[in-house]
Amino acid sequence: MVTRKEKREMEKEVNYLFELLKTQNHFFKNLNKLLKEVDDPRHQSYITYDTEVLLMMVILKNACNLKSMREMTNEFNKEECIKNVGKWLGNEDLEELPHYDTINDFLSRLNPAELERIRIDMIKKLFKKRCFDSHRINGEYWGIAIDGTGIFTFDKKHCEHCLRRVYKYTDKETGEEKTKTIYMHHVLEAKLIVGNMVLSVASEFIENESEDVKKQDCELKAFYRLTARLKDTFKKLPICLIADSLYACENVFKQCKANNWNYLFRFKEDRIKSITDEFQALKNMEEEEGKKANVVKIRESEQRGEITWVNDIDYRGLGVNVFECEV
Ligand SMILES: [Zn+2]
Taking the centre of ligand 1 as the mean of its atom positions, its distance from the CA of residue 151, in whole angstroms, is 11
Taking the centre of ligand 1 as the mean of its atom positions, its distance from the CA of residue 154, in whole angstroms, is 8
Q: Hey, is 144 helix, strand or coil?
A: strand
Taking the centre of ligand 1 as the mean of its atom positions, its distance from the CA of residue 235, in whole angstroms, is 33
Taking the centre of ligand 1 as the mean of its atom positions, its distance from the CA of residue 49, in whole angstroms, is 30
Taking the centre of ligand 1 as the mean of its atom positions, its distance from the CA of residue 318, in whole angstroms, is 39
Ramachandran angles phi, psi of 168, nearest 5°: -100, 140
Q: Which helix (H) or strand (E) holds 321?
A: strand 318-326
Whole-number Å distance between alpha carbons of 202 and 283: 38
pLDDT, residue 105, reads: 93
Taking the centre of ligand 1 as the mean of its atom positions, its distance from the CA of residue 165, in whole angstroms, is 13
Taking the centre of ligand 1 as the mean of its atom positions, its distance from the CA of residue 14, in whole angstroms, is 43
Taking the centre of ligand 1 as the mean of its atom positions, its distance from the CA of residue 35, in whole angstroms, is 28
Domains of the chain: 14-118 (no CATH), 133-266 (3.30.420), 267-327 (no CATH)
Whole-number Å distance between alpha carbons of 180 and 154: 12
Whole-number Å distance between alpha carbons of 227 and 147: 12
What is the DSSP pairing of strand 142-154 with strand 239-243?
Answer: parallel
CB 237 within 8 A of CB 142: yes
Taking the centre of ligand 1 as the mean of its atom positions, its distance from the CA of residue 211, in whole angstroms, is 10
Residue 14, Cβ neighbours under 10 Å: how many?
A: 9
Q: For 297-301, which contacts have Cβ atoms below 8 Å and span 24 or more sequence positions?
A: 298/325, 298/327
Q: For 70-78, which contacts have Cβ atoms below 8 Å and span 24 or more sequence positions?
A: 70/100, 72/100, 73/97, 73/99, 73/100
Q: Which helix (H) or strand (E) holds 105?
A: helix 100-109
In eight-state DSSP terms, residue 10 is H
CB 264 within 8 A of CB 296: no
Residue 43, Cβ neighbours under 10 Å: how many?
A: 8
Taking the centre of ligand 1 as the mean of its atom positions, its distance from the CA of residue 208, in whole angstroms, is 9
Whole-number Å distance between alpha carbons of 20 and 31: 13
Taking the centre of ligand 1 as the mean of its atom positions, its distance from the CA of residue 309, in whole angstroms, is 44
Whether the CA torsion 239, 243, 246, 248 is positive or negative: it is positive
What distances in angstroms separate CA 151 from CA 185, 205, 235, 309, one per listed residue?
A: 6, 10, 29, 37
Whole-number Å distance between alpha carbons of 246 and 259: 19
What parts of the chain have a pLDDT lower than 50? none
Q: Which helix (H) or strand (E) holds 52?
A: helix 51-63
Taking the centre of ligand 1 as the mean of its atom positions, its distance from the CA of residue 269, in whole angstroms, is 35
CA angle, residues 203, 258, 273, in degrees to nearest 5: 90
Q: Hey, is 213 helix, strand or coil?
A: coil
Give the residue from 124, 260, 118 showing the smallest Cα distance to 132.
124
Whole-number Å distance between alpha carbons of 82 and 79: 5
Taking the centre of ligand 1 as the mean of its atom positions, its distance from the CA of residue 158, in whole angstroms, is 4
